[in-house]
Structure 1
Amino acid sequence: MSKWCKLLLGVFAGAAILHVVKKHMCFNRFLPETLKPFFTPFEHKQVPPKVKSIYPDRQTFAFRHDSPIWIEFDTPMNNATITKETVIVRSSASKEPVDGLLDTGSRMLMFRPYKEYPMDESGAEITITLLGSETGSGFIMDERGIALDGNEDGKPGGDFEYTYKIIK
């Protein structure tokens, strides 16, 4: 047997022994504390998508009675999950959701009301809700199939809510 064959066999034998020791003999118990982090398996946690920004700001919106709302996400979203059932816009002056055009892109959605937002004599609160939790009508998710982290707790799920006030 040549010198290179013996070397190659030794490398494979060493790797096999190390694998068996790590897997079946609790190798970490015998390591000094300073070396244990090098032998801890790395677990990759997928980060759920979040709302990155919303436009317009509350001050600008207060005087625009038909202003569109733009929402930017931090990752590309599954556009099929962004529907009028998962994006709900409501006015405090009406029991029915506000009807309007919902347009989506990879990382953006835009809602534009067909007419002015419903108001009473003092104005109204306009709330946009993005469903990140299963409610029977679905929920918003990214291209990887991970639900929106609407409540920003670092876990998939939870609804995102943002409220504007408009002044009459």
Structure 2
Amino acid sequence: MHRTRSWSKLLLGAFAGIALLYIIKKYMHDRSLPVALKSLPVPFKHGPTPPRVKAIYPDRQTFAYRCDSPIWIEFDMPMNNATITKDTVIVKSSASAEPVDGLLDVGSRMLMFRPYNEYPMDESGAEITITLLGSETGSGFIMDERGIALDGNKNGKPGGDFVYTYRVVR
């Protein structure tokens, strides 16, 4: 009795294996099967991930009523501090043609910009825009410790400028 069960299990397993092989071969050679089911795409990452801006402080609401507020930018990985300069971090006011002059303090993953005076404003206020250069513009660009350019436009590729705008009201 015990031997009969073993043989029946073995035959059942062999039959299941043959049926599975038949189904696989049939569908692999069948031209009516959609192309999408014949080959599944495999996502690949091409090269190392470029650095990005992780967070910016303060938020727009807090900044709106501060005429001299510093701006902090946090990166998602350690940056090359030598590439973060007044040439690659540009702060402008809509009320002035010249960039805003201020102190730029740089750490491994943070930068801080504090204006020397209040941000230039007109009678209603101003838009304050901070731009971090991630693309070659003649004055350089911001990169991480590995030498990879900032992904400013968040498309997953090195390069592209990061632009963030605040509104200051009077």
Q: Same fold (TM over 0.5)?
A: yes
* Equivalent of 2:124 in 98, 122, 125: 122
Give the alignment partner of residue 49 of structure 2, picking from 44, 47, 50. Answer: 47
Are 2:76 and 1:74 aligned? Answer: yes
Question: Is 1:156 aligned with 2:150?
Answer: no
Q: Which residue pairs with 1:166 in the alignment?
A: 168
Provide TM-score, normalisation by structure 1.
0.75
Q: Give the whole-Å Cα distance in 2 for the aligned partners of 1:43 and 1:84.
A: 33
Shift of 1:165: 0.2
CA drift of 1:60 comes to: 0.1
Aligned residues: 131
Unaligned runs of 5+ in 2: 1-27, 29-38
Q: Residues of 2 paired with 1:149 and 1:91: CA distance?
A: 24
Q: In the alignment, which residue of structure 1 is the partner of 2:86?
A: 84
- Asked which structure has the greater CA Rg, the reply is 2
Please provide the CA RMSD for this pair.
1.8
**3-state SS of the aligned residue for 2:69?**
coil
Match of 1:57 in 2: 59
How far apart, in 2, do the equivalents of 1:133 and 1:122 lie? Answer: 33
Aligned pairs for 1:132-151 within 5 A: 132-151=134-153
Q: Secondary structure at the match of 1:153?
A: coil
Letter in 2 for 1:76: P
Identity of aligned residues (%): 81
TM-score w.r.t. the length of structure 2 is 0.74
* Residue ranges of structure 1 left out of the alignment (5+ in a row): 1-31
Letter in 1 for 2:64: A
CA distance in 2, matches of 1:45, 1:125: 37
